[in-house]
Each structure stands twice: as C-alpha cells, then as structure tokens.
Amino acid sequence: MLPDLRDYERLSAAFRWQVPARFNIGVDICDRWAKADPGRIAVIEADADGSVAMFRHGALREQSNRLADSLRKRGIGPGDRVAILLPQGRSVPIAHGAVYKLGAIAVPLAALFGVDAIAFRLADAGATCLITNAAGLAKARASGAAGQMRVLISLEGPDGDAEGFDQVVATGSPDFTAVDSLADDPALMIYTSGTTGQPKGALHGHRVMLGHLPGVEMPHEFLPQPGDRLWTPADWAWAGGLLNVLLPALHFGVPVVARASAKFDPEEAFDLMARHKVRNCFVPPTALRMLKTVANPRSRFALDLRTIGSGGESLGAETLAWGKDALGLTVNEFYGQTECNLVLASCAAIGISKPGCIGKAVPGHDVQVIRPDGQPCEPEEEGQIAVRRPDPVMFLGYWNRPEATAAKFIGDWMTTGDQGIRDHEGYFRFVGRDDDVITSSGYRIGPGEIEDCLITHPAIALAAVVGKPDALRTEIVKAFVVLKAGHVPSDALVADIQAHVRGRLAAHEYPREIVFRDDLPMTTTGKIIRRELRDAS
C-alpha cells in the first residue's frame, strides 16, 4: 500500500514494493477477509428492478473453494485456460477465485462480444472450460467453440451439455487447498482491445493484482477510507473493470456495487450511485461525456461521491472542468495498458492534477517518454510513453506470440505505442496512439485535443477525429460527430463547428471535413476504434 504521506515527492521516495515470492490472487481476494471478518460485504448486487442482494466474504471463500474442487474433479488443473464470460455479479469473483486457487489461467471475456470475437479468443487461448450465462452459451454454440470445451457451465442452470453453475458449486467441497503459486506464475490472460489488428492475449502473473494497488490508491485518494464503496460501469472482463476495481476492492475489503447492464444510461448511472451510496467510481471518459448530458446532477440525485477515476482514453480539460462544476470533484485521470496498467495517475488530494495531463508516475513505476533508440526525451519533447522492466504490473508476454512480445520492448523499456510529452514538472500529456497522430502540412496533430474542443460545442455529444489522406497536406483533419438531441445536421452547423475549433485551437487543427453519425464505433471497453473511421474515410 502507499504510505499515508500527502506529498508526492515524499510518497515516491518512501514507497517500496513488497511482493512475496509466493502469492495467489484467489487466496488473497477470497480468504483474507473471510477469516478476519466473514460477514464483511464483498459484492452488492443491484438489479434494475430495485432489488438488492448482499454477498459476503465468508460466502465468497466457501463458494470459490467449492467451485475449485468441482473443476478439479472435472479435470481442470494448473495451466488450463478457463474462460469467464459473465455480467457483473457475485459469480464473477467466485469464478476468478476458483480458477486462481486451481493454478489455472482465467480468460475473462466481455459480455458484449459477438460470436466471432468469442470464437477467436476461445480458440487462440486454447480454453478447455467456459463459465458463462445463457446468452454467452448461445454465442459460444453459434460460433462452434462450445463443442471444443471439456467443461461447460451456465449460470442459469443445466442446458444440454452445459452444467448448472449453482449445481457445480454445490457438489464441491468447501475445504480446498489452493496451489502454492509463485507470484510470477501465470494467472490471468486479458485480450487487448484490438483497435488495430487481431487481439493478443496479454498473460499476467499472480503479482499483477499487487502491482495494481498503488495505481488504484492514488486516483482514489488513499483508498480505502471509512465508508468507501466502489462501482464502475466497465465490464469486469476488461482490465479497467477487473484490475482497477473488482480485484483491488476485494483485497482492500471495500464493497463493490454490481449492476448487469447491456447499455450505459447516464440517468440510471446517477440514480445507481445515489441509491447505493457509491463513494468511489471508475468511469471511462466516453461514459463521463455521456454523464455530462444530465443537467444538475447534484441537485437531482443524493450523491455522496468521494473520488472519481477515469482512464482508457484521454479525458480532456473540458471534461475535467465539468467534473469540478457539476460534481464538485476533481476527476483523477490515470493511464495504462492491458500489458502494463495503472502506471500514471492524478491525485487531487496531494495536488497532483493538471488540466490536459494524465498525471505523474505512480510510485513504484519508472515511466518515461523515450526516443526510437530508447533514450529518454528531454522535457517537452514528444516521444513514446514507455515503462521500465521489471515491474510487478507488467505482463509476462503475449500468449503464443514471442515475436510480438519481443517487439514490444526497446531494451528494458516496454513501449506503449502511445505518443506523449513529459513536462518540466513531471506531468505526462497524451498526444495519441502512433496510428492516430495526424500529419498535416508539416504539423503533428494529436486527435485528443481536437475532440476535447469539439465536445465543448453546444450541439455535439460525442466526437472522434482521424487523419484523411490528402495530396496537398499529407493528411487533413476529419471529424465524426454525434449530435445532441434537438440538433440536426446542416452546412451552417458544419461551418459553425469549424469556426468553433479554429477560434479555440489553431487554423491547422480545425476539421476540414465533418461527418454526422448516429453513433461511433467503440471497443467493449469504450475506446473509439479510429481504424474503422479511417477506413471509412
């Protein structure tokens, strides 16, 4: 944990990693609090109909043991890949805890994945067991992947060749001795978002959970504090939902609110936070921009928020300002990747917050902006954001992709593919993905600043910017925008939006082309897939 020092320089100097040689995530998240305080709330299941169920740490330990024992009896053991395709709810930590205790490898899959996405990941991982619900089972069967599973388990009960989750859990023993795993033993494989090319399985060791703790504590301002309660709309299959929220919360003994929802609704989100006394939330930038469409949230909802963290895409100064004005909080931005998550963060409580910046290096992580030869850039010099190994949050490698793993490094620097700038104060600014940076008339333009400017226009709800090939300028800036209700596309509106950007940024940054759309292509993690927009250009 971070020392309770409310000064960044002292905090960084005092922090030391304490990662034991042997560590098992399942034992940590399921057994620690069960022994000390079995009645402590682990998960608060909040259904759309208003019903609420409390799931406690004592039950989490028992049911994860039972599931681990049942899976072992069915031939699942160390090193086997177990796919977990489930919505938010108690079954997720039960399944994860059981898999880790077995020494198997959890492969979380997002509930919004389609048939092809599920088929690719199950085949690539070589999964032998799938734990899912009826909707996931139908997709797995439609893809043909279900027939390749040695064990199929469905949350809603027995269904053909699939066994019922509750029945499988009930037949296992409550006494199970977990594998005495090394901290570096494989535990978890999360597939990259796939914004470019096919997704790759980023394999992590058991230490990854411990590695995340400082990066969770910093944006949530020294979590845990009395009364803290976490929630995120992010799928718990994504690194942002699983490693930024669920697993650290279980480690710290902080209750997590679960709401299974297929679509983010900003009004419902505010109601949920108020109704269930959420104190800490992780909300991706796209969802935050949707929350902005709700007028006067503090006067309409009895919110009791203490911290809001956001990451996954650049937040932008305008959304940061909205957080202070509408919610009375500074949204603490953070940064990382599936391969090496939560290495940069803001923390307003200790004065680490700067509009337009991601934050500073989280204590324990050596993060720099580097040149192509691996040398650190000078302050204000643009380069690639990179993290030095060894690092407990860093992946072990890409599953069955040694060449791709090697290509990820320049010496001991794990490259991110993200262009950034580190200023004289140590703050990092995100410029854009290597593939997203636009070169126009000799200028290098990051899409984030333009997108942030676009959404300050009163007619725009969401925006994405890409470069379109141009014979004269190399590329021109092209914007795709989703309008707010009550606004309709027109040539006059195009001209007004262009003038809005030109007057606030620079003449070379305004979008020379604007396309109006009903929605934007996004990954299941809420990141805009600019590749699809570039292809459409």
* C-alpha pair distances (Å), 262 with each of 131, 193, 235, 238, 318: 19, 18, 10, 14, 28
Give the pLDDT of residue 465.
92
Hey, what domains does the chain have and what are their CATH numbers? 24-42+52-205 (3.40.50.980), 435-535 (3.30.300.30)
Give the pLDDT of residue 389.
97
- Check if the beta carbon of residue 11 is closer than 8 Å to that of residue 3: yes
In the predicted structure, residue 194 carries a pLDDT above the cut 70: no
As a whole-number percent, the residues of the chain with pLDDT over 90 amount to 77
- Give residue 506's pLDDT band: very low, low, confident or very high (50, 70, 90): low
Tell the residue number behind the tokens 């309008």, with chain if given: 483
367 or 118, higher pLDDT? 367
**DSSP letters spanning 327-358:** ISS--EEEE--SSB---EE-BGGGTB--TT--
pTM: 0.85
* C-alpha pair distances (Å), 354 with each of 334, 348, 368: 12, 9, 18
In the predicted structure, residue 147 carries a pLDDT above the cut 60: yes
Residue 367 DSSP code? E
67 or 284, higher pLDDT? 67
In the predicted structure, residue 195 carries a pLDDT above the cut 50: no
Over range 395-413, report the average pLDDT: 97
Tell the residue number behind the tokens 């996931």, with chain if given: 136
Give the pLDDT of residue 197.
55
Give me Rg for the CA atoms of the chain.
23
Amino acid at residue number 422: R
